[in-house]
A and B are shown apart, each in its own frame.
Chain A
Amino acid sequence: MSILAVENLGKIYSGFEAVKGVSFALEAGEMLALIGPNGAGKSTCFNLINGQLAPTSGRIHIFGRSTHGMAPRDIGRLGVGRTFQITATFASMTVVENVQMALLAHHRRQWQWNRWAAHYYEEEAARLLALVGMADQAERSCGELAYGDLKRLELAIALANEPKLLLMDEPAAGMAPRERNALMSLTARIAQERTIGVLFTEHDMDVVFEHAQRILVLNRGVLIAEGAPAAVRANPEVQAVYLGAGALYEAKQ
């Protein structure tokens, strides 16, 4: 069974059809990229899946359960991790406290009031930070981290609730090319080790073709292509949509 199944998804914003009849599925341990030019409906699709928006039509099943009417928080609790286009971390806390907070929430300990939070899940937090290569920065204040490190911290936070599905909205935006590949390699490795299905959007085609196992191409709210990177790259319709980016990519080959 697919861990994420999207059927005939549609979203209309006051008369404008942002997403039309989108259907796809994501398997455990798979890296699936959702691409498309600006305004194609990627973010809308993403926000429909993570519960920020309610669909106008269609169905979404995560781990076989319909997410109809569920708040983002409830969807998160099904075992869905998220990273955001603009990083969202707890700026007043240290790196390790950020992860501890996520672990506390995952274990439903947020109501505990009579013991110091710093004593909870120290080892688990350290392990997660080591996994994303942030162990040496555990005690730093979150507000003073470099952007790439914030992205890695976000990944550690997202992994704290032992997700089987990871939704990453432009994970590599705002990073240097080398950092991008490092982050996506890390994500791919973790996804494989833990059989996590990853759905991500991305603008950088190098990153997409390098790390995605399968690609969905969205244009004007409609899915125009789906398949392995090589097949998608060869698709004339995709090339037409991505004239600039596609041509550049070919030229580099």
Chain B
Amino acid sequence: MAPLFSRSWPLALRVSVQHARVFPLNFYFDQFVTGLASACSLFLVASGLSIIFGVTRIVNFAHGAFYMLGAYIGFTLTEQFSGAFGFWGAILLAAIVVAAIGTLIEIILLRRIYDAPELFQLLATFGVTLIVEDLALLIWGPNELLGPRAPGLKGAIDLFGLPFPTYDLLLIALGPLVLGLLWLLFRRTTWGVLVRAATQDREMVAALGVNQKWLFTSVFALGVFLAALGGALELPRQSANHTMDLQVITEVLVVVVIGGLGNVLGTFLAAIIVSELNAFGILVFPKISIVLVFLVMALVLIVRPWGLLGRAEAAARAAGGAAILRWRPLAARGRLAVVLALAVLALAPLAVGDYYLTVATEVLIFVLFAASLHFLIGAGGLVSFGHAAYFGLGSYGAALALKQFGLGMEAALIAGPLLGLAGAILFGWFCVRLSGVYFAMLTLAFAQIAWSVAYQWSDVTGGDNGLLGIWPSAWAAAPAHFYWLTLALVAAGIAALRMILFSPFGYSLRALRDSELRAEAIGLERRRIQWISFAIAGGFAALAGALYAFLKGSVFPDNLGIPLSIDGLVMVLLGGVDTVSGGIVGAALYRSLSIWIISHTDYSKLALGLLIVVLVVLFPKGVVGAFESWRARRAPRTGGESS
């Protein structure tokens, strides 16, 4: 890691020396204690996520939404009731109400999709998050809501000459209290024993005759209760707002991963570490404060691949006799259809106007982005939560080539992918050392680091203002011409990805996903093959990113943000992970629909969230998967095929 950040260190150290002169010692102590208070909420939310994951193997993305709901409902209820009893009653009641909502969602939605491919549940909970965001906007309005102070705890005490809120002292005591209660719950009750058993081996617990359905539901309810309680308890400290869900979910994911998934004590320690990093990072390393937490997480994962107190993820037993679609290159008829489709797409500029051409260009770009991610997830089984990093690096690479080095569009379209490729080679080297959820989290961390660099290094990247005026060369400036350029590059990119997919290298990648044990036994080098695949996927994502920069004429840190990474996952999962063309179809469908929805309604998140939830329930194998299974059922003799 040292060479990467060695340039930042001297700067950061200089800053720290300056600040050390400015702030007296008791200020640092104050900051430390404030960090401890923040850790309480973070721990509550994170332990909920950790418990849910441990038992149900769901990465509950909606956990942040439940945290936000806890704060909003807590706000409404504290308005209704007064007095100390009213305040605490309202906080508790808010958590119970949200837990009930969570239980309902689990019963109605998640129960239907526990058997769907891994991470499909993540998609569903992402849909729930979108819905909750817009509903909160509808119910509570767009403004931040300043919550009440806790009765009797409004004051502050003197802490080495600095005022310290008494409410924060309560929170500092509450964290260990909840930890103790959870410990008792898991060690001293039958239910707790079942939960721990299920965390280790849920098939075995099912085989013992435990009603898994209600175990899952109760665990989910407890997890959501903790999240909402965490949200409601924050009311006296910070206002309820609409960004708190995504803010907390990224922090919570970091906490859970540092602590070790499914380990409550580890979560507690990690919550303190992360809160203190936040509290001091802003003082000591203001330039890289956002990066700091993710940097620490990356370091922890490299040294301890399963978090501080976590253990290796128990591999879920593969369901025997599952009908798996066979991956095949396109047959003659399929190839003809592709040629026809390309011809129709190439002729589109003759028939439609500039607006639709621009939309089509955007959709094409995301088709390539999703295809590159699908290569990683579908063929490699490597679920990246941070694929936007390489898309964004492609965008910035192209924009910087144009702006800083005065190169033309043609050279920029090479420079962008090269930067993305370099990033993927660097980050990928670390990521392929991990697997499963930890791999996903490390990719997320690296994406977040890349985002922070783009956001904070404003001299070069323009920071929040981005880089503007990234326009194509004159010959490609007309919408139709840029559309053709995009179509040609995207088609070539996808053709190359498919070539690799069906080559010996692509087979090796799939072999490693299917059975690492067997793949190693026949002599395949796991890390090298996965590393190179990671780089290939990153390179093609970066090509998409470079095209996107020229389409929009600008580049912003959003190009590497978490929402874009999640969009990529949505597209791949909606299309179908276990199919060859899932990424392509999923991207075309999702991007077109989302552009259409955004232009037709003010509540686009609500509509999109509902759409995702419905699609998840209707097509648990993805749209392409559903189609191909249907075709296989019609012609049972050929078996299921995907091309």
A in complex with B: yes
Q: Which residues of B contact A88 (CB under 8 A)?
A: 515, 517-518, 521
Nearest-neighbor residue (CB-CB) of B641 within chain A: A141
A22 at the interface (CB under 8 A from B): no
Task: Check if A143 sits within 8 Å of B518, measured CB to CB.
Answer: no
Are the C-beta atoms of A117 and B503 separated by less than 8 Å? yes
Q: Considering the complex, give the chain A residue whose CB is closest to the CB of B516.
A: A88
By the criterion CB–CB under 8 Å, are A144 and B321 in contact? yes
- Tell me, in angstroms, the Cα distance from A88 to B512 when the chains sit together: 11
Please tell me if the beta carbons of A93 and B514 are within 8 angstroms of each other in the complex: yes
Would B506 and A117 count as touching, CB distance under 8 A? yes
A90: chain B residues at CB < 8 Å are 510-511, 514-515, 518-519
Decide: B523 and A105 in contact? CB cutoff 8 A.
yes
Taking CB atoms and an 8 Å cut-off, the chain B residues in 482-534 that contact chain A are 499-500, 502-508, 510-511, 513-515, 517-525, 529
A253 within 8 A of B: no
Nearest chain A CB to B506 CB, angstrom units: 7
| Residue in A72, A115, A140 whose beta carbon sits within 8 Å of that of B520 in the complex | A72
Which of A56-64, A76-84, A194-202 faces chain B? A76-84
A108-B506 Cα distance, complex, nearest whole Å: 14
Q: Which of A115, A143, A157 contacts B323 (CB 8 A)?
A: A143
The reply to whether A110 and B508 contact each other, CB–CB distance below 8 Å, is: yes
A102–B505 CB distance below 8 A: no
Is A30 close to B, CB under 8 A?
A: no
Is A54 located at the chain interface by the 8 A CB criterion?
no
Q: Which residues of B contact A72 (CB under 8 A)?
A: 520-521
Q: Is B327 part of the contact surface with A, judged by Cβ < 8 Å?
A: yes
Q: Once bound together, how far apart are the Cα atoms of A76 and B523, in whole Å?
A: 6
Nearest to A154 among chain B residues (CB) is: B518
**Residues of chain A within 8 A of B499, CB atoms compared:** 113-114
B residues near A77, Cβ cutoff 8 Å: 523
Within 8 A of B (CB), among A44-103: 71-73, 76-77, 82, 84, 88-94, 97, 100-102
Chain A residues with CB under 8 A of B513: 92
Residues of B near A104 (CB, < 8 A) are 504, 507-508
Cβ 8 A contact of A116, one of B329, B517, B523: B329
Check if B324 is an interface residue, CB within 8 A of chain A: yes
Chain A residues near B520 (CB, 8 Å)? 71-73, 76
Chain A residues near B321 (CB, 8 Å)?
143-144
Other-chain residue from B322, B508, B529 in contact with A101 (beta carbon distance below 8 A):
B508
* B526 to chain A: closest residue by CB: A73
Residues from chain B with a CB closer than 8 A to the CB of A94 are 326
Per the bound structure, the CA–CA distance linking A105 and B518 in Å amounts to 11
Any A CB within 8 A of the CB of B639: yes
The number of inter-chain residue pairs (CB within 8 angstroms) is: 117
Alpha-carbon distance between A71 and B514 when the two chains are bound, in angstroms: 20
Kindly supply a per-residue 1/0 record for chain A positions 111-130, scoring 1 wherever the CB is within 8 Å of any chain B CB and 0 otherwise.
11111111010000000000
Chain B: interface residue total (CB-CB under 8 A): 36
Question: For the complex, is A187 an interface residue (Cβ under 8 Å from B)?
Answer: no
In the complex, whether A106 has a CB less than 8 A from a CB of chain B is yes
Q: Which residues of B contact A71 (CB under 8 A)?
A: 520
Contacts of A157 in B (CB 8 A): 518, 522
Q: How far is the CA of A92 from the CA of B379 in the complex (A)?
A: 10
Chain A nearest Cβ from B334, distance in angstroms:
14
Q: Is the CB–CB distance between A73 and B524 below 8 Å?
A: yes
Chain A min CB distance to B318 (Å): 7
Q: Collect the chain A residues with CB atoms within 8 Å of residue B324's CB.
A: 91-92, 141, 143
Does A160 interact with chain B (Cβ within 8 Å)? yes
Most chain A CB atoms below 10 A, which of B510, B513, B529:
B510
Could you say which residues of chain A place their CB within 8 Å of the CB of B525?
73, 110
Q: Is A161 among interface residues, defined by CB-CB distance under 8 A?
A: yes
Return chain A residues, CB-CB under 8 Å to B511. 90, 93, 101, 105
**Complex contacts, A113 vs chain B, CB 8 Å:** 499-500, 503-506
For B318, B502, B511, B525, which residue has the most chain A Cβ atoms within 10 angstroms?
Answer: B511
B503 partner residues in chain A, CB cutoff 8 A: 112-117
* A233 CB, nearest partner CB in chain B, Å: 33
- Contact status B318-A91, CB under 8 Å: yes
Chain B residues near A100: list those with CB within 8 A: 507
Q: Flag whether A109 is at the interface (Cβ < 8 A).
A: yes
> Given the complex of chains A and B, what is the CA–CA distance between A110 and B520 in angstroms?
12
> B314-351: which residues lie under 8 A (CB-CB) from chain A?
318, 320-324, 326-327, 329
A139-165 interface mask toward B, CB cutoff 8 Å, 1 = contact, 0 = none? 011011000000000000110110000
Given A113-B504, A113-B505, A144-B323, check contact A105 B524 (CB 8 Å): yes
Known: A93-B514, A143-B323. A102 touches B522 (CB 8 A): yes
Bound form: Cα–Cα A9–B475 in Å = 73
Q: In the complex the two chains form, what is the Cα distance from A253 to B305 in whole Å?
A: 55
Given A89-B515, A91-B515, A141-B639, 19 further pairs, Cβ under 8 A: A73-B524, A90-B514, A90-B519, A92-B326, A92-B513, A93-B507, A104-B507, A105-B511, A105-B519, A105-B522, A105-B524, A109-B504, A112-B504, A115-B503, A141-B323, A144-B323, A157-B522, A160-B522, A161-B522
Shortest 7 CB-CB distances between A and B: which pairs?
A88-B518, A90-B514, A110-B508, A105-B522, A112-B504, A113-B505, A117-B507
- Residue positions of B touching A, CB distance < 8 A: 318, 320-324, 326-327, 329, 499-500, 502-508, 510-511, 513-515, 517-525, 529, 578, 639-640
Instruction: Pick 30 A–B contacts, CB within 8 A, sort by A.
Output: A76-B521, A77-B523, A88-B515, A89-B515, A90-B514, A91-B318, A91-B515, A92-B513, A92-B514, A92-B578, A93-B507, A94-B326, A97-B507, A101-B522, A104-B507, A105-B519, A106-B522, A108-B523, A110-B504, A110-B529, A112-B504, A113-B506, A114-B503, A116-B329, A117-B504, A118-B502, A141-B639, A143-B320, A143-B321, A144-B321
